Structure 1
């Protein structure tokens, strides 16, 4: 948040630092593996693809892998670090036999409960990106485009299944629905099946709505991440 309105990570952190000599940001780049010295077991670089070209970046000090709960174990296994039986299955040279990907814990959430509202107060893509709204934001930093990414309220709840010392469920409250953009982005990012989208969300496309999305804060179950193939894409 900056001056009472939404501020992106790019504005807050990247723009002030973009002229630093030791900062290089590669857009549209897909990391395929870490480069690891088999003798020392030390990472010395990263292999990635950009513009249909294989490229390599070498590191003088260290390599920090931060690709999320799914892609981090994938990259490690493709680099030869992971369960022996998993790497052998795909003929990946084993650098270190470790139980990578075998303790997946994530905050499970669902699409939530959506209610239609009578007044034009929600985030609707067509109205949200209209020219007057855009100019209002550019010239005065006011209007709907200053909203905080959709979520306007949070609630932390202790259910009967949790510990009384801390909440185990979080509610996200948003002035929109999964289909407030008429299927342009959110549908794909959530991986909604076409049958679910058409039956539940398509009828409320671009309509004013309000949604409560529950999220599990302290999951008790664990899962795993395994390779489907040695193809990083």
Structure 2
């Protein structure tokens, strides 16, 4: 039939080969896709298993840590000193051991006192000492025989003593509210105030200078006790 084109045997063979190759390609592609899917699935399962194992290990370690912490606290609570034994422990490494023992043992309840109660005893003693220094300072200011320079120094000292007295009360309030870090700040401020007071007065043999030495010692005892309280809560 004219106008019609019949494929040759070679064309038919080529088409058949192309079709076969195309089918092989699709089969190969599908195989690769299946393999990739299976690989991803396995990888995902392995990752999930790894994550689950990691979580289990983490929980196990956390459990052991919690047990150790609880055991440590129980052990510490069982060995916690009170009263005279605690007072000896606090005062043994202090340069003013005698004053430390005397002050902390002065309260009737000190036989069974814990750290916080001993801190209160030392701070009350420091507050009483500050009030005594302040009264002496006020009395000396009124002495008309003093030089104006000395009177001015006493007036400056009085202002610093008022600050120190107030800061001791703030330290007491901080300890009672369980803010030991804040108490430490107030105690250091009180020590700085008494230093400034001393610098305002010439000489170091007057009654104010002698009492200020005792005030520093009392504040430092309170600082040591407060540090011990901070250590037990870390």
User: What band does the TM-score fall into relative to the shorter chain?
Assistant: under 0.3
Structure with the higher strand share, 1 or 2: 1
- TM-score, length-scaled by structure 1: 0.17
**Bigger radius of gyration:** 2
If asked which structure has higher relative contact order (CA below 8 Å, sep 6+), I would say: 1
Structure with the higher helix share, 1 or 2: 2
